[in-house]
Amino acid sequence: MKNKIKYILLGSIWLISGCQDDYLEQAVDQRTQLNTVEKVSELLVTAYPQADYATFTEAMSDLAEDKGPNSVVIEDVNRDPYFFRDVESKAQGSADNYWNASYAAIAAANHALEVITNAPNPNDYSAQKGEALVARAYAHFMLVTLYSKVYDPATAATDPGIPYVTTPEKVVLGKYERKTVAYVYEQIEKDLTEGIPLIVNTTYRVPKYHFNTAAAHAFAARFYLFKQDYQKVVEHANQVFPGGNFGANLRPWVNVYSTLTANEGLAIYTQATENANLLLVETPSNWARNNARYRYGLSTNLVNQLFRQANVTGDTWVYPLYTQGADNWLVLKFREHFVRTDLNATTGVPYTIFPLFTAEEVLFNRAEANLALGNIEATRTDLNLYASARIADYNRATHNISNAKIANYYGTGSNVRLGMLFTILDFKAAEFVQEGMRWFDLLRHKIPVTHYTVDGQVIQLGADDPHRLLQLPQEVTLAGVERNPR
């Protein structure tokens, strides 16, 4: 299940620049030939980026503050994003590492698709083709979102995208071009549209670690939210659960999670048996170990804003909060899985399981899409449903999100739609804290970010600041790819 791709595209060209061209002609896994459905399925386990983005996206967001020099962990992968500087490190948790891992995942998907195309019985691989197409679309979507300008219908046809790679690399120094954001989105949509109908959940031993149908529709809902095709957001969101019913599938913070011990809470959040988890990935990462202890992260001030002050419902959220020192806070989400190099070793690799898609995100995406379509009551219904699963002793009459509450809380007057958008974004900030998800809303809505330091520095990131686009690895120039302006 941990078969490693023998080549990594673009970002890690420097690793193989000294090899012979025929190196890339070798089978991905020298122990086996990809000549059966089962072997292609095993290859597709590696078609998901095995790297975390939370380390840098959380630090860049407004859900991180400077907790001072006494913090336990100070690393450049956490510090540099907070200052909106390009991270020089290529270690796990860095932007370069995520770029490399994403193109490695794309390489795996492309290799699988090539095997399927050349198979004597390609119809037997239909489900694997569906997974490969959707996985390829996902990795490209994450790359274009992080490394290119956010999709704007007015400029997408000229904004530089990222290379959309559809064939396995067969030479050491292949040439690639970024083309445009619009082109990348067209290719993503093409892969999604073709791939989703082919997915068969029963082909997976553990469906939550693959693009099962629910996860694929969740991805489509996110994609179309970025593309501003709001009707398709609603259509795909309604296909995640039978009848579009989210009530029984939201994470049970009130009835279950809030009653657990710390160890139990850490164990349950990323379990495949949790209904709310739609797609999980296990990746080498220190995030579970360090996220609360990083200098630039969730502070007491942010904890008070998110969890201890009443939100628009008039009450507070039920999330249990824990500390790992004076100002090092965490919500129980991630537990480290330490894999030793061998049975008797004391060294190894820490892994963290990340939920890539959840029921909560899909619900919020549907709510925002309905808001954009003018379906205000549908949006209100989804927000109240979410609140009912996050407030202890929820009472509909007391906690219902009314127009008056929104206007009073946000000062938006008669502009109900703006107040509801603020509500959605605030709810999401609390729900996904320490998961790196806030950054994507900041990108999509072009929300400025201001960071402060304990010694009085003010670092601002404007709506059009070029540092909102992550910098491509320096080595991509060897493949003819231009880096982002600075």
Lowest-confidence pick of 326-330, 384-388, 394-398: 326-330
Report pLDDT for 239. Answer: 98
431 or 71: which leads in pLDDT = 431
- Note whether residue 256 is domain-resident: yes
Tell me: pLDDT of 469 over 90.
Answer: yes
Would you tell me how many other CB atoms lie within 10 Å of the CB of residue 349? 13
Stated as kind and residue range, the H or E segment containing 104 is helix 95-118
Alpha helices (H) along 119-162: 126-147
Q: Are residues 459 and 471 in the same domain?
A: yes
Rounded to 10°, the helix 213-227/181-195 angle is 150
Report pLDDT for 6. Answer: 31
Q: Are residues 427 and 480 in the same domain?
A: no
Tell me: pLDDT of 16 over 50.
Answer: no
List pLDDT tens digits, range 196-208. Answer: 999 999 999 999 9
Rounded to whole angstroms, the Cα distance separating 485 from 159 reads 12
Q: Can you spell out the DSSP letters for 111-125?
A: HHHHHHHHSS-GGGG
Report pLDDT for 12. Answer: 40
Rounded to whole angstroms, the Cα distance separating 30 from 370 reads 50
Report pLDDT for 290. Answer: 94
- Note whether residue 221 is domain-resident: no
* Distance of alpha carbon 146 from the chain centroid: 10
Q: Are residues 302 and 339 in the same domain?
A: yes
Would you tell me how many other CB atoms lie within 10 Å of the CB of residue 313? 24
Report pLDDT for 34. Answer: 84
On whether the CB atoms of residues 342 and 348 are closer than 8 A, the answer is no
- Note whether residue 234 is domain-resident: no
Amino acid at residue number 230: Y
Position 171 confidence tier, pLDDT thresholds 50, 70, 90: low
Q: What percent of the chain has pLDDT over 90?
A: 81
Report pLDDT for 20. Answer: 39
List pLDDT tens digits, range 108-140. Answer: 999 999 999 999 999 999 999 999 999 999 999
Residue 29 in tokens: 């896994």
- Note whether residue 319 is domain-resident: yes
Rounded to whole angstroms, the Cα distance separating 379 from 232 reads 16
Q: What percent of the chain has pLDDT over 70?
A: 93
Report pLDDT for 32. Answer: 57
Residue 34 in tokens: 């990809």
Q: Tell me what the mean pLDDT of segment 453-467 comes to.
A: 96
Would you tell me how many other CB atoms lie within 10 Å of the CB of residue 267? 13
Average pLDDT, the chain: 91
Q: Tell me what the mean pLDDT of segment 437-458 comes to.
A: 97
- Note whether residue 230 is domain-resident: no
Q: Tell me what the mean pLDDT of segment 3-24 comes to.
A: 37
**3-class SS at 88?**
coil
Would you tell me how many other CB atoms lie within 10 Å of the CB of residue 360? 23
Rounded to whole angstroms, the Cα distance separating 286 from 289 reads 5
- Note whether residue 131 is domain-resident: yes
Q: Tell me what the mean pLDDT of segment 353-380 comes to.
A: 98
Q: Are residues 398 and 259 in the same domain?
A: yes
Report pLDDT for 22. Answer: 44
Q: Are residues 101 and 171 in the same domain?
A: yes
What is the extent of the structural domain holding 139? Answer: 1-52+92-203+451-486
Q: What are phi and psi of 37, to 5 degrees?
A: -60, -40
Q: Are residues 464 and 414 in the same domain?
A: no
Q: Are residues 406 and 339 in the same domain?
A: yes
- Note whether residue 83 is domain-resident: no
Q: What is the CATH number of the domain that holds 5?
A: 1.25.40.890
The dihedral sign for the CA sequence 88, 91, 97, 98: negative
List pLDDT tens digits, range 175-190. Answer: 889 999 999 999 999 9
Rounded to whole angstroms, the Cα distance separating 402 from 419 reads 10
Q: Are residues 316 and 403 in the same domain?
A: yes
Report pLDDT for 332. Answer: 92
The dihedral sign for the CA sequence 102, 103, 109, 112: negative
Position 69 confidence tier, pLDDT thresholds 50, 70, 90: confident
Q: Are residues 439 and 457 in the same domain?
A: no
Domain count for the chain, please give it: 2
- Note whether residue 144 is domain-resident: yes
Tell me: pLDDT of 271 over 90.
Answer: yes
Position 340 confidence tier, pLDDT thresholds 50, 70, 90: confident
Tell me: pLDDT of 5 over 90.
Answer: no
Q: Are residues 326 and 415 in the same domain?
A: yes
Report pLDDT for 88. Answer: 87
Q: Are residues 428 and 341 in the same domain?
A: yes
On whether the CB atoms of residues 383 and 367 are closer than 8 A, the answer is yes
Position 320 confidence tier, pLDDT thresholds 50, 70, 90: confident
**What's the DSSP call for residue 180?**
B
* Distance of alpha carbon 205 from the chain centroid: 23
Tell me: pLDDT of 342 over 60.
Answer: yes
Q: Are residues 261 and 387 in the same domain?
A: yes
Write down how long the chain is: 486
**What's the DSSP call for residue 484?**
P
List pLDDT tens digits, range 246-256. Answer: 999 999 999 99
Report pLDDT for 131. Answer: 98
